[in-house]
Amino acid sequence: MKINSLYKLPVVVAVCAAALLGTSCTDEWNDHYEVASATEGISSASLWSALSEQSNLSNFVSVVKACGFDEQLGGSQTFTVFAPTNDVFSSTEAQELIAEYQAQKSAGVKDDDNTVIKQFIKNHISLYKHPISSLTNDSITMMNGKYQMLTSSAIGESPLITTNGAFSNGLLNTIGQQIEYFPNVFEYLGINENLDSVYNFINSYSVYEFNPSKSVAGGIVDGQIIYLDSVSTLKNALMSSLSWAKINDEDSTYWMLAPTNDQWNALVAEREQYFNYDNTVNKRDSLQWAGTRYSIINGTAFSRTVNPDVSFQDSAQSTNALSYSVRTLLGINNPYGIFYKPFQAGGIFANNEDVECSNGHVRIPAEWPIKPTDTFLREIITEAEYLQNQDTIINAQDPLTTVSVPSGNPFYDKISGNQYVEVVPTNTSVNPTVTFNISDVLSNVGYDVYIVFAPALAGDTLASAEDRLPNYVRAFIGCNDQTGKLVSERVGTTFSPEPDKVDTVLIAENYKFPTCSYGLAEPQASIQLRSVVSSRQTTTYSRTLRLDCFILKPHQEEATEAKRKQSK
Q: Over the stretch 129-141, which tens digit does the pLDDT of each residue have?
A: 999 999 999 999 9
- pLDDT-wise least confident of 16-30, 112-126, 434-448, 534-548: 16-30
pLDDT at 239: 86
pLDDT at 332: 72
Q: How far is CA 292 from CA 285, 366, 484, 513, 548, in A?
A: 11, 21, 21, 17, 32
Q: Which residues contact 344 (CB under 8 A, 6 or more apart)?
A: 350
Mean pLDDT of the chain: 88
Checking if the pLDDT of 102 tops 70, the result is yes
Distance CA 249, CA 12 (A): 38
* Residues 456-472, mean pLDDT to the nearest whole number: 96
pLDDT at 166: 95
| Backbone phi, psi, residue 267, to 5° | -70, -40
Q: Over the stretch 312-322, which tens digit does the pLDDT of each residue have?
A: 999 999 999 87
pLDDT at 224: 72
Checking if the pLDDT of 330 tops 50, the result is yes
Checking if the pLDDT of 28 tops 50, the result is no
Residue 371, classified by CB atoms within 10 Å of its CB into exposed (0-12), middle (13-18) or buried (19+), is exposed
| Backbone phi, psi, residue 189, to 5° | -60, -35
Q: All domains of the chain, ordered by start, with CATH? A: 30-175 (2.30.180.10), 185-213+229-374 (2.30.180), 380-567 (2.60.120.260)
Residue 514, classified by CB atoms within 10 Å of its CB into exposed (0-12), middle (13-18) or buried (19+), is middle
Q: Which of 97, 144, 138 is nearest to 122 (CA)?
A: 144
Checking if the pLDDT of 7 tops 90, the result is no
Q: 355 or 334: whose pLDDT is higher?
A: 355
- pLDDT-wise least confident of 204-208, 225-229, 391-395: 225-229
pLDDT-derived band at 567 (thresholds 50, 70, 90) equals very low
Q: Which ranges in 446-518 belong to alpha helices (H)?
A: none
* Residues 539-551, mean pLDDT to the nearest whole number: 97
Report the SS3 class of residue 302.
strand
Q: Which residues contact 531 (CB under 8 A, 6 or more apart)?
A: 423, 425, 431, 432, 433, 471, 472, 473, 543, 545
Distance CA 65, CA 72 (A): 10
* Residues 334-350, mean pLDDT to the nearest whole number: 93
Checking if the pLDDT of 402 tops 90, the result is yes
- pLDDT-wise least confident of 26-40, 140-154, 229-243, 301-315: 26-40
| pTM (two decimals) | 0.80
